[in-house]
Structure 1
Amino acid sequence: MTSIQNKARFLAPGVLLALAAAAVSYGVGQLVPVLSPMIVAILLGILVTNTVKLPASFGLGIDFSSKKLLRAGIVLLGLRLVLSDIADLGVPVILVVVCVVAGGLLGTLLLGKLLNVSPRLTLLVACGFSICGAAAVAGAAGVTDPREEHEQDTVTAVALVVIFGTIMIPLVPFLVGAMGLDNPTAGMWAGASTHEIAQVVAIGGILGGSALTVAVVVKLARVLLLAPVVAILSVRQRRIYRQASAEEKAAGSDVQAKMPPIVPLFIIGFLAMVLLRSFVDLPGAVLDIGNALQTALLAAAMFGLGCGVKIRNLIQVGIRPFVLAALATVLVAAIAYAGIMLVA
């Protein structure tokens, strides 16, 4: 048996379970369109890990799903983006999107410092709430400190994205009605302020009219900024590793920390898919297959991440991360509202 076959044998139970959970989540999403397969998969993972003791043989495959399958799903996420659609939003709206992401990131980092939340958890919450939810959390986690003791930060940030993003599904339409926003403006605000693409789709469906299309395009403009943000974080991590290596060398140690790439491979793949979709006339069948595969991979990955969310551990993190998540939600929504009102 080759090493690849041996590795596949150890990974198979967990990966197959994650894919089965993705299939169930997709079925639930078809029956209840307001529920995204990815959100269902996270909740299913949380339910399973807190009610059933999975055999140890599932561990490696579930961990593989939450990391490797997630990156493959992010790559295929690029097939949803068409640069011309984003350009059609116009420079003012694109500048609003940039301000939402930049302001959300910097503001959340400041709030986390004031609340004394751990820097890594603060960073992951900032990325998830400012860019594109759980995918951004996992993307940022992949290029920051990878030590196992920090895994809880990742699953906590993902759980917070699910909780507060789900709250926004009924809240945004209510606020839109209370503030009397017209349909396109409401769509822009929903896309600029809500965490997950799936949550944006749910809100757009409730708003009706042209709001759904506008909301999704604005949200995808935020998703596009995942690439530069992850690249910046990777460069920052390289600087940290370089400094640590210099200190170890000065102390007489020959151990060298492995440097992360300046731009992670999955981000290069993501950008390649964006360019492919934008400049090549792909057949509808290819796009349908790509979208279905992307949904399956991300749902399987979300199940894996959900399996890491132990309710008792989530309770033990205390109230401060929840306060941070609530304030970050308000901050991003406020920046988005102010910007949209200026350009609408």
Structure 2
Amino acid sequence: MNTMAITRLPAQGRQLFPGIMACGVVAAASTFLSQHYGAPVMLFALLVGLAMNFLSGDGVCAPGIGFTARELLRVGVALLGLRITAAQVVALGWQPVVIVIVAVVVTITVSMVVARLLGFQSLFGLLTGGATAICGASAALALSAALPAHPQKERATLFTVIGVSALSTFAMISYPMLAHWLGLDHHATGVFLGGTIHDVAQVVGSGYGISRETGDVATLVKLMRVAMLLPVIVFAAMLTRARTGPGAARPPLLPWFAVAFALLVLVNSTGWVPKGLQDFGSDVSRWCLVAAIAGIGMKTQLKDLATVGLKPILLMVGEAVFLVVLVLGMQHFG
């Protein structure tokens, strides 16, 4: 887009354009680095975004960076609905569905309780527990969008995304070895990997690295966890409304992006959505989420992350271990 084209944009568009482009450049660079070095793209987006946080000051990029971190995040979450169909959930059978529902509910509940015991707000436990139990960085971003504004919210979100990305990378490498050591068959291994590894891409990579059957089962179980994002977002919105002070504007019970997510799941379940459109929507969702986390990184100061302390790290590691033990226990006794 040349200078003349930019000047013809509406005033708000011209104001947002530099920051959105900056986030887009970081997203493209992060995708390139992820494809060549194998690390999670969200982690690269965070690190590169943090390195460019000088752009989020009072310069021309600040409005667009804020828009990307806030609004494009919601668009990306809504488009996650194109990954899921009702038929995929039914194809799992009842046992994996029960395992997923119980694992998500119990992990989040325990995380909220432990967070309070450690001196944090229970909403921080909801954020970290939801990221661990549902779908990693995508869930952290979605839940952050539904939670009330707070001076520490962006810092907590950034810490959660960094932590869950690191844990997911470790899980992708170590969990298949754990499943082999435990003697799980291909189907059971698929349920275990899909029920515990945080990020969708890493579930796919670890599952199909073992066998086609394991990969198919792991992917379906993981998509079921992604589907749990909607009720958890509704729960987060209910908590936000309940904690809104008297006289303040109450947020909607169902954020628009949660409604859009549900509608896209329903439409996708009809079979009317072509495969090409599903893939396109999934790609747009990924780009929006990567750009949004780049924007959050740009808005965060490194010195803020350096003060998080040991307790949040122990909380997230404990959540990951708890989820592994819970899923393996339900598989064994189910």
TM over 0.5, shorter chain: yes
Residue in structure 1 matched with residue 200 of structure 2 by the alignment: 197
Deviation string for 1:204-231 (max 9, x for gaps)? 2433432222112111111111111111
Is this contact kept in 2: 1:79–1:290, CA < 8 A?
Answer: yes
Residue in structure 1 matched with residue 278 of structure 2 by the alignment: 287
Question: Which range moves more in the overlay, 295-304 or 80-89?
Answer: 295-304
Residue in structure 1 matched with residue 327 of structure 2 by the alignment: 336
Residue identity matched to 1:63? G
Deviation string for 1:162-192 (max 9, x for gaps)? 2222221212122122222222211211111
**CA 1:202/1:97 → structure 2, altered by over 3 Å: closer, same or farther?**
same
Residue in structure 2 matched with residue 129 of structure 1 by the alignment: 132
Q: Provide the C-alpha distance between the structure 2 equivalents of 1:267 and 1:280, rounded to a whole number of angstroms.
A: 21
Matches within 5 A, 1:190-339: 190-241=193-244, 244-245=245-246, 256-339=247-330
Q: Please list every run of 5 or more consecutive structure 2 residues that lacks an aligned counterpart in the other structure.
A: 1-5
Q: Provide the C-alpha distance between the structure 1 equivalents of 2:221 and 2:43, rounded to a whole number of angstroms.
A: 20
Deviation string for 1:200-259 (max 9, x for gaps)? 223224334322221121111111111111112212221222xx21xxxxxxxxxx3111
Residue in structure 1 matched with residue 177 of structure 2 by the alignment: 174
Q: Please list every run of 5 or more consecutive structure 1 residues that lacks an aligned counterpart in the other structure.
A: 246-255
Residue in structure 1 matched with residue 21 of structure 2 by the alignment: 16
Scaled by the length of structure 2, the TM-score of the pair is: 0.90
Q: Provide the C-alpha distance between the structure 1 equivalents of 2:210 and 2:293, rounded to a whole number of angstroms.
A: 27
**CA 1:69/1:128 → structure 2, altered by over 3 Å: closer, same or farther?**
same
Structure 1 residue 47: Cα displacement: 4.1
Please, what is the CA RMSD of the aligned residues? 2.3
**CA 1:316/1:30 → structure 2, altered by over 3 Å: closer, same or farther?**
closer
Q: Provide the C-alpha distance between the structure 2 equivalents of 1:103 and 1:19, rounded to a whole number of angstroms.
A: 37
Residue identity matched to 1:174? M
Q: Provide the C-alpha distance between the structure 2 equivalents of 1:88 and 1:342, rounded to a whole number of angstroms.
A: 22
Is this contact kept in 2: 1:156–1:314, CA < 8 A?
Answer: yes
Scaled by the length of structure 1, the TM-score of the pair is: 0.87
Residue in structure 2 matched with residue 43 of structure 1 by the alignment: 47
Q: Secondary structure at the match of 1:268?
A: helix
**CA 1:54/1:305 → structure 2, altered by over 3 Å: closer, same or farther?**
closer
Is this contact kept in 2: 1:39–1:162, CA < 8 A?
Answer: yes
Question: Which range moves more in the overlay, 269-278 or 60-69?
Answer: 60-69
- Name the % identity: 28
Is this contact kept in 2: 1:67–1:138, CA < 8 A?
Answer: no
Residue in structure 2 matched with residue 90 of structure 1 by the alignment: 93
Deviation string for 1:55-109 (max 9, x for gaps)? 6322222222122111111111111101111111111210110011001101111
**CA 1:214/1:306 → structure 2, altered by over 3 Å: closer, same or farther?**
farther
How many residue pairs match? The answer is 327
Residue identity matched to 1:27? F
Question: Which range moves more in the overlay, 78-87 or 311-320?
Answer: 311-320
